[in-house]
Amino acid sequence: MKKILIALALVLSVQVAGAQVKSAADSKKAVEAAEAAAQNPKKALKPATWLKLGDAYVNAYNSPYGNAWVGAGKQELMLIMGSEKPSSTEMVELMGEPYTKEVYAEKNFYFNGAGVLAMIEVTKPVYGNALAKALDAYKKAYEVDVKHSKDKDVAAGIHSVAAKYLDEGMTQYMLGDIKAANACFCAASEASETAPLNVVDTTATYNAGFTSWSLQDYATAVTYFKKCIDAKYYEDGEVFAKLSDCYSKLGDKENAKNVLENGFKAFPQSQSILIGLINFYIESGDDTDRLFSLLDEAKKNEPNNASLYYVEGNIHNQLGDTEAAVKAYEEANKVDPNYEYGFIGIGILYYNQALDLQTKAQEELDDAKYMALVEEFETALKNAIDPFEKAYGLSKNNEIRVNIAEYLKNIYYRFRDENADYQAKYEKYAEVVSTGNPL
C-alpha cells in the first residue's frame, strides 16, 4: 500500500470476535425506541437518552456485519455464521491484488490469498447515514450534560463513530471509489476533533488530505495537510510534497517553495520532496546551482534511479549546455540500459538541434555558409537516428513507440534517396504512424 501513499489504520474497528450483534429488525426497533425517548421533552434533557440513541445508531450500523470480523479465517467464519451462506463467489482484483469475493444478502466479504477476511463491504445498511446520526446524538448528549458527568462515555461513542468512518473510508478506497473514501476520511477526521474527544486522528486527516488531492480538490487538501504538519505527522515527508503540490496547483508558488524547503530540512532523504523541488526549480528557472545540488542529493539516495539523470539532462538542455545534457542522458542509459527515456532525450536534443540549424540555413544568404549549415543540419538529424531506434526497440508503450516513429519517419524521409535502407525505414515508420500500430 505504500506506493498508493495512503495511511493505513493500525487497527480496524469493525466487529470484534465474539461480539453479539442485533439483527436488522431488532436494530430498527432499538433505534425507533431511542428516537421516541429523545422526542420526550423530559427525557431529552438527560444525556443518557442521547447516549442510548447514539449507541442504537452505531449498533444499527454494525448489524449487517453479523458476527464476522476483519482478520477472521474462512474456517472460523463457517463455524460462527452457521447456516448463513454466500449466494455467489468470484475472484476479483483490488489495488492489483487478488481477492475472493463472497456475496451475501446485505454484505460482501473479501478474502485475501491466505484465506483471511480482509474487508467487509456493506451493501444493504439498516439505516442510511447511521454514523452521522450517531454523531449528532453524541453531540447532543454532550450539549445537555451541563455537569459533564458523561464526558468519558460521550468521547467513547464519538471515538467509535470516527473509527468506523475510517474503516469505511479504507473499504471504499480499496474498492476504487475515491470520492466515497474521501467523504468518510473527512468525516472521521472531523469526528475525532469533536468535543469532548478533541483528538487529531492523523491517519484519517492525512487520508482526507490525500484523497482530496487525488480528486483535485486542492483547497480542501491544503486544510488537512496543514493539520498534519501542525500535529507533527509527516508520513515520511509525503505531507510536505503533497501540500506543496496543492499550493502550486492553486497558484501560490511562494508557499509551494517554502513548504518544500522546510520539508527538505526535516526529511532530506524524501524522494517526493526532492523531486518536487527539482520540478519547482525547473519550472521557475531560479537558482540552478541549488537545483543541481538537490539532484546530487537525490542520486545519493537512489543511485540506480535512471530518471534522475534524465531530469539532469533536461535541465542542462534547457540551459543550453548540449554536451552536458547528452552526457547525463547517456548516464541514464548506463544506470538502466532498458530506460528508453535516456535515448529519447538524446534523440529529441539532436532533432531539435537540426530544426534550429534548418531555420538558420533558410535565413542565410551566403551560399557557402548556407551549405555548411545544411551539412550540420543533416549531421544532427543522423545523430538522432541511433538513439531513436534504440528507444523504439526498448519501449513497451505503444503510444510512445508511435511518437518515436513520427520522428524517425521525418528523418528517414530526408535521406530516403541516399540508399534503399533509408527508403525502407521511411516506409516502415510511415506505416506505423498512419496505422498507430508499432511493428
| Sign of the CA dihedral with 375 first, then 378, 380, and 385 last | negative
Grid coordinates belonging to 183: 467523504
Give SS3 for 119.
strand
How far apart CA 274 and CA 268 sit, in angstroms, is 8
CB 122 within 8 A of CB 70: no
List the 88-94 sheet strands across, edge first.
Answer: 88-94, 97-103, 107-111, 117-122
Amino acid in position 141:
A
CB 202 within 8 A of CB 9: no
How far apart CA 312 and CA 62 sit, in angstroms, is 54
Grid coordinates belonging to 108: 460482501
Q: pTM for the complete prediction?
A: 0.73
Q: How many CB atoms lie within 10 A of CB 85?
A: 9
353-to-343, 364, 382, 428 alpha-carbon distances in Å: 15, 17, 11, 24
Amino acid in position 108:
N
Q: State residue 265's pLDDT score.
A: 83
Give SS3 for 109.
strand
Residue that has been written with the C-alpha cell 517526493 in this structure: 272
Q: Is 232 left (phi over 0), alpha (psi -120 to 50) or beta?
A: left
Q: Which residues of the chain fall below pLDDT 70? A: 1-21
First to last CA, the chain: 37
278: CB partners within 8 A, 6+ apart: 291, 294, 295, 298, 311
Backbone angles phi, psi at 12, to 5 degrees: -85, 145
